[in-house]
């Protein structure tokens, strides 16, 4: 395999991927993981260019930064995979301190002509690859399982190839400034080609991860009310089907709260629709703060909301609705120098397997309308109107 032909081909491919991922990262700036991937590819491209021009006495000035950039690139790749797989805030300060120490040690040892110093970068490189593969393989996020396993396999293979190259280095090229002599070694060149191929596979994984992210956002938007962030009717229907089946199967209680904002039309007429939107958002914010993660809050109409409460009796559901009612009653929203207050009426019902979900909705809705008839700003369980 010709050294220069290999690098020209590899550089051309990485340029395409680097430009593509960078453009995607720019147009999807909220997806922080893509920024890491774009940076990793740009550093990989610089590393390849430095290796391609490496020859003779000039190799010290190219091999040194090329080797260091490769470690930095794989570290940034780890951060990108971590962002997609875990989504937890991590500053990675400890990791970058360790990398900085390794780079300083490698630089000093390189110019002192210390043998076997390739291990200073090779061992951490393999460790980071294996750590990245571990994190990707353990990803359980919905919609990411297939790409996570592919990513884990590719990164693990990167670590294996890096380990093989580390063995070759220790056996035949103990002086890293002399690795340009390895350009005639087929083992060295084929392992280098394998590393390049896997890097390009990872670039395709970057794009696949972004596609999964965008697909998840679209799916969420299809099930979410754009104004308030609550679920929409379609999402409620799906959740209700799941929870009623669970209730029938295991006998767990299931309750529903139907909420309607009192005099909402008059509020819009008096203060404008922007003020009404603030009231809707405030109601959702208050309700979410008082609900559990398994509870479902959905906007089913202009000012009407439904809350589905798994493992909750009508008595507990009534207490939750009452807490939400009091919080809304006490809330004051400042809008254009005016203080806006609002109130809600709510009806609560408990699921009965013999009657079905539609009956549950009708009974909760009837209780809510009865609460309005009795003076509004109150919570009424369905049993009170039986």
CA 298 – CA 123 distance, rounded (Å): 52
Which helix (H) or strand (E) segment holds residue 6: the answer is helix 3-27
Predicted confidence (pLDDT) at residue 194 exceeds the cutoff of 60: yes
In the predicted model, what is the mean pLDDT of residues 210-229?
88
In the predicted model, what is the mean pLDDT of residues 241-265?
92
CA distances to 185, 278, 310, 349 from 248, in Å: 69, 38, 12, 16
Every domain of the chain and the residues it spans: 3-222, 233-385
Distance from the first to the final alpha carbon of the chain: 85
Could you tell me which of 246, 361, 242 has the C-alpha nearest to residue 306?
Answer: 361
Q: What is the mean pLDDT of the chain?
A: 89
In the predicted model, what is the mean pLDDT of residues 370-382?
92
Q: HSE of 330 in the Cβ direction (CA atoms, 13 Å)?
A: 7
103-156 pLDDT per residue, tens: 999 999 888 888 888 899 999 999 999 999 999 999 988 889 999 999 999 999
Predicted confidence (pLDDT) at residue 177 exceeds the cutoff of 70: no
pLDDT of residue 58: 47
**Domain range 3-222, CATH class:** mainly alpha
- Other CB atoms within a 10 A radius of the CB of residue 269 amount to 11
| CATH, domain range 233-385 | 3.30.70.270
10-68 pLDDT per residue, tens: 889 999 999 999 999 999 998 999 999 999 999 999 998 887 776 544 455 678 898 89
Same fold, 3-222 and 233-385: no
In the predicted model, what is the mean pLDDT of residues 286-312?
93
Residue 176 in contact with residue 67, Cβ under 8 Å?
yes
């Amino acid at each position: 395999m010709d050294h220069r032909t290999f690098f020209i081909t590899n550089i051309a491919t990485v340029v395409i991927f680097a430009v593509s991922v960078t453009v995607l990262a720019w147009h999807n700036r909220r997806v922080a993981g893509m920024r890491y991937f774009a940076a990793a590819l740009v550093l990989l491209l610089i590393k390849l260019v430095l290796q391609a021009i490496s020859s003779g006495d000039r190799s010290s000035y190219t091999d040194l930064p090329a080797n260091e950039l490769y470690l930095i690139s794989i570290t940034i790749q780890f951060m990108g995979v971590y962002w997609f797989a875990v989504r937890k805030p991590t500053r990675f300060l400890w990791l970058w301190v360790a990398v900085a120490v390794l780079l300083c040690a490698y630089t000093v040892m390189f110019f002192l002509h210390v043998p076997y110093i390739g291990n200073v970068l090779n061992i951490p490189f393999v460790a980071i690859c294996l750590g990245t593969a571990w994190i990707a393989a353990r990803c359980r996020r919905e919609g990411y399982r297939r790409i996570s396993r592919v990513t884990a396999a590719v990164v693990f293979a990167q670590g294996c190839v890096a380990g093989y190259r580390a063995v070759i280095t220790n056996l035949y090229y103990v002086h890293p400034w002399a690795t340009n002599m390895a350009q005639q070694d087929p083992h060295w060149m084929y392992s280098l080609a394998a590393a390049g191929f896997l890097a390009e596979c990872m670039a395709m994984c970057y794009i696949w991860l972004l596609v999964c992210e965008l697909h998840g956002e679209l799916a969420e938007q299809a099930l979410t009310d754009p104004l308030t962030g609550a679920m929409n009717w379609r999402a409620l229907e799906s959740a209700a089907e799941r929870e009623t089946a669970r209730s029938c199967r295991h006998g767990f209680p299931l309750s529903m709260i139907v909420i309607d904002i009192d005099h909402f039309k008059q509020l819009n007429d008096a203060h404008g629709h922007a003020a009404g939107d603030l009231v809707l958002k405030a109601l959702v914010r208050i309700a979410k703060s008082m609900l559990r993660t398994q509870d479902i809050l959905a906007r089913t109409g202009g000012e009407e909301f439904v809350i589905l409460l798994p493992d909750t009796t009508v008595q507990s559901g009534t207490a939750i609705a009452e807490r939400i009612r009091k919080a809304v009653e006490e809330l004051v929203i400042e809008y254009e120098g005016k203080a806006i207050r609002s109130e809600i009426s709510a009806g609560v019902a408990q699921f009965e397997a013999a009657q079905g979900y539609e009956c549950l909705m009708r009974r909760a809705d009837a209780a809510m309308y009865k609460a309005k008839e009795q003076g509004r700003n109150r919570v009424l369980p369905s049993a009170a109107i039986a």
